[in-house]
């Protein structure tokens, strides 16, 4: 595992930097911090452990926070922490937004441009399967990115089983998040119920799904290159040209809509992308609701967003 992380640091030329490490006190983040600590002198890394309290599990979270602070002292790392507002929405989406806002604040505070996150191979497969169930396309099949902007994931090729063995071999303590056992959360349901069934069908399913992810990433690079050419041709100020849009084949139009509208869709799937494309094809002056806040409007051969509150204007 040490060689995997070392190759990762070399690949992205992460040297002589302050690095913020997302530290949950769980097995994955403990293993990652330990490995980074081992390589810190060689790569000139200054480690900052960042623990975010989501304010969901008051007792457990305080124990994790205390553990994280003590762990940071052991490795002589700086420690940064914060807590979610009491009235924040208790949802996975909201928790993710708050967590990334926390990391952004940590980068700003410590003048860093690197955040390490401890997603592993099982997390990557779980995300891919979750997206398949929701009806994803090639982009969704790419699953978790090894690097996105300032966020890096050095353990993405390492299985949970390997991580747990590494912790045991090195006598490293860690905390367990009890909410990970609650199958009310879809990702936990996949991990606890679906993974064992897949393993029963094919013991190599983790590697096989990882191959699917890697093939999707390669395919996506080709698609993205074509999409960039497409966008250069049809994008105009605050929108795009209807006639030029319709001069292209449907597959490329669908990819463009998925990129242009993206997370603004009420429900992001093939059916709704097709619905918007059909609307553009059949109308020269009209509008369609994208979500409760946005319309997509056609006027004088231009297609653009209109916010609901400003629609009359």
Which pLDDT does position 310 carry in this prediction?
53
Residue 284 in any domain: the answer is: yes
151 and 262 together in one domain: no
How many domains, the chain?
2
Residues spanned by the domain of 8: 2-201
Co-location of 57 and 173 in the same domain: yes
- For residues 64-77, give the mean pLDDT: 94
pLDDT of residue 142: 94
Residues 268 and 190 in one domain: no
Q: Which residue has the higher pLDDT, 66 or 264?
A: 66
- CATH classification of the domain holding 296: 3.30.465
Q: 168 and 59: one domain? A: yes
Q: What is the CATH number of the domain that holds 55?
A: 3.40.50.620
Decide if 27 is inside a domain. yes
Residues 253 and 139 in one domain: no
Average pLDDT, the chain: 92
229 lies in a domain? Answer: no
* 287-311 per-position pLDDT tens digit: 999 988 889 999 999 999 998 765 4
Domain's final residue, options 201, 224, 253: 201
Mean pLDDT of 49-71: 91
Task: Note whether 306 and 297 are within 8 A (CB).
Answer: yes
Whether 207 maps to a domain, the answer reads no
The number of beta carbons lying within 10 Å of the beta carbon of residue 214 is: 12
Structural domain contains residue 137: yes
Of the residues 175, 201, 227, the one at which a domain ends: 201
- Which pLDDT does position 309 carry in this prediction? 65
* 151 is a domain residue: yes
Q: Is the pLDDT of residue 254 over 70?
A: yes
Helices and strands (H, E) in the chain, number of each type: 13, 11
pLDDT of amino acid 313: 45
Nearest to 257 by CA among 238, 272, 244: 272
Q: Among 179, 201, 223, where does a domain finish?
A: 201
Do 306 and 186 fall within a single domain?
A: no
Length of the chain: 313
Task: Please list the helix, strand and coil fractions of the chain in percent, rounded to the nearest 5, in that order.
Answer: 55, 15, 30
In this structure, the answer to whether residues 266 and 148 fall within a common structural domain is no
R_g over Cα of the chain: 22
């Amino acid at each position: 595992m040490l060689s995997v992380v070392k190759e990762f640091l070399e690949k992205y030329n992460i040297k002589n930097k302050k690095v913020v490490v997302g530290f949950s006190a769980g097995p994955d983040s403990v293993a990652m911090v330990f490995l980074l600590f081992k390589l810190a002198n060689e790569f000139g890394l200054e480690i900052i452990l960042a623990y975010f309290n989501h304010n969901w599990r008051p007792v457990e979270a305080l124990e994790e926070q205390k553990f994280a602070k003590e762990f940071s002292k052991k490795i002589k790392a700086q420690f940064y922490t914060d807590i979610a507002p009491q009235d924040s929405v208790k949802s996975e989406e909201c928790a993710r937004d708050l967590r990334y806002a926390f990391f952004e604040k940590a980068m700003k505070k410590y003048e860093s441009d690197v955040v390490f996150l401890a997603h592993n191979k099982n997390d990557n497969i779980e995300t891919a399967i979750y997206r398949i169930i929701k009806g994803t396309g090639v982009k969704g099949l790419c699953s978790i990115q090894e690097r996105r902007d300032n966020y890096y994931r050095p353990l993405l090729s390492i299985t949970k089983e390997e991580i747990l063995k590494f912790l045991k071999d090195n006598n490293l303590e860690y905390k367990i998040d009890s909410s990970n056992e609650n199958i009310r959360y879809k990702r936990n349901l996949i991990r606890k119920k679906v993974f064992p069934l897949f393993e029963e069908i094919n013991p190599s399913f983790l590697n096989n799904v990882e191959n699917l992810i890697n093939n999707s990433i390669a395919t996506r690079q080709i698609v993205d290159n074509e999409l960039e050419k497409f966008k250069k041709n049809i994008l105009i100020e605050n929108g795009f040209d209807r006639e030029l849009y319709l001069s292209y084949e449907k597959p490329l139009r669908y990819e463009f809509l998925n990129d242009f509208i993206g997370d603004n869709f009420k429900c992001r799937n093939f059916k709704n992308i097709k619905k918007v494309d059909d609307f553009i094809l059949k109308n020269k002056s009209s509008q369609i609701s994208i979500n409760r806040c946005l319309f997509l409007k056609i006027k004088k051969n231009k297609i653009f967003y209109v916010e609901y509150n400003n629609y009359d204007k």
